[in-house]
Amino acid sequence: MDSTRQQKISRQIQRDIAEILQKELADTLRGTLVTVTTVRVSPDLAYAKLYISVFPFERSNATLDIIKEKSWYVRKLLGQRIRNQLKIVPELEWFIDDSLEYIENIDNLLNK
């Protein structure tokens, strides 16, 4: 169970990362829609797992690779935004959230 502080920091990181991806990496991620679906922060706030959803789904692995390459830059920008709230900027781990694709696949199977 996440503490209230973890939940608060997770929501703040989710908002900030979404804005960074939308504004700062817009040229790099052209042609894809990236949504930060979930952020999970470790109890010591040193690590953050970010789950992203990518549309179109076929480009999700390529998009994830691009974001991982630019992770240092995203972390730097995140640090500038949250420096007054946290002593250290969490290490970012990126994952694809394929739950929507999974739900769509199950729905298609049920409709057959």
Q: Is 67 exposed, middle or buried (0-12, 13-18, 19+ CB in 10 A)?
A: buried
SS3 (DSSP) at 83: coil
Q: Identity (one letter) of the amino acid at 51?
A: Y
Question: What range defines the domain where residue 64 resides?
Answer: 4-111
- Give, as one character, the DSSP assignment of residue 57: G
Report pLDDT for 70. Answer: 95
* 12 contacts: CB under 8 Å, gap ≥ 6: 82, 85
Provide the CA 16 distance to its chain's centre, in angstroms: 10
Report pLDDT for 1. Answer: 64
Report pLDDT for 69. Answer: 96
Q: What is the CATH number of the domain that holds 107?
A: 3.30.300.20
Tally of domains within the chain: 1
| Bridge partners, residue 91, by sequence | 47
| Tens-digit pLDDT profile for residues 39-48 | 999 999 999 9
